[in-house]
Amino acid sequence: MEKSEIERSIITKFRKEIWRPFTKAVREYQLIQEGDRIAVCISGGKDSMLLAKCIEELQKHGRVNFEVRYIVMNPGYRPEIYEQVLKNARNLGIDIQVFSSNIFEVVDNQNSSPCYLCARMRRGFLYARAQELGCNKIALGHHFDDVIETILLSIFYGGEYKSMPPKLKSTNFEGMELIRPLYLVREDAIIRWAKYNHLNFINCACKFTDSSNVDSKRLEMKMLVREFEKKNPHVAANIFKSSENVNIETVLGIKKDGKKVSFLDNYDK
C-alpha cells in the first residue's frame, strides 16, 4: 500500500483499536509535553514501526508542539535483516538515523540470561544516543500485552508483583525519561494493522534466539492469557486493572525504596 494509505488507516479503519488507545495513553499518563524532544526507538518490528507512525501523526495533528528523532540501532543484524529494517522505514516514510553497536557479539558469548543482558545493553545504548541528539525522552514500542505478560512473569517466575509503568525516569542518564505510548494498544490490533497494509516486519533477530530451543517464558504467558480469555474475555483487562487497584491492606508485604515492609510492621499501630 501507499504510505498515505497506511497512515490514513491508523486514524480511520484502526481508529478504535489503535489511535484512540494511543492518544488516551499519551493524555492520561502525560507522556508528551510541550517542548519535548523525543527519540523514537525503532527495532524494526511491528510495534516500534507502528509507534513511529503514531508519533508522526500526533506531531502533525496534535495540539502539543514537540520534536522527534527516529533512531535505529543495528546491534549486529544479519545483512538481510538489516536491509529489511531499512526497506520498511523507506516504505513507511520514516526518516531514521542509524547507529551500530556490538550487542549481539557480546550477548552471544554469555551463557546465562542473554535476553536480560541484551535488553539492558540496548536500553543503555539508546539512552546515550538520544542524549547525544539532545532528546529528553526515549519512546519504546511496548504495548498492553507486554504489560500484562510482565505482571504474570513477575508472579510465576519472580515471586513478586511487578508491572511495567507507562513512563520511567532514568537512574543512569540524568534528565532522561522513558515513555511507552502504545501502553493501551492490544497486540492483536497491531498485527491486524500490519496484515491489512501488507507489511512484513522482523521478529527478534537475536543470534541466541535463532540458535537455541529455549522456550520463551513470555510466549508461555501469552498463550496462558489466550486460554483464559476463551472462558472470560475480560481476563486481560482485569490483569491490567489489578496493577492500579492493589489493596495494600490485604498483602503480606511490599517493597518500598528497595526495602521490604511486612504487614506486621504496622499491624498494631
User: Can you tell me the distance from the alpha carbon of 122 to that of 102, in angstroms, rounded to the nearest whole number?
Assistant: 10
Q: How many residues does the chain have?
A: 269
pLDDT at 211: 45
pLDDT at 257: 85
The DSSP 8-state label assigned to residue 216 in this structure reads P
Backbone φ and ψ of 251, nearest 5°: -95, 155
pTM here? 0.91
Residue type, 170: S
pLDDT at 100: 84
Q: What is the pLDDT of residues 177-198, one digit of tens each?
A: 999 999 999 999 999 999 999 9
Which residues does 230 contact at the CB level (< 8 Å), separation at least 6?
none
> Which portions of the chain are predicted below pLDDT 50?
210-214
Q: What domains lie within the chain, and their CATH numbers? A: 3-214 (3.40.50.620)
User: 108-133 in b/e burial notation, b at 16+ Cβ within 10 A?
Assistant: eeeeeebbeebeebbbebbbebbbee
8 Å CB contact between 102 and 76: yes
pLDDT at 104: 79
The DSSP 8-state label assigned to residue 214 in this structure reads P
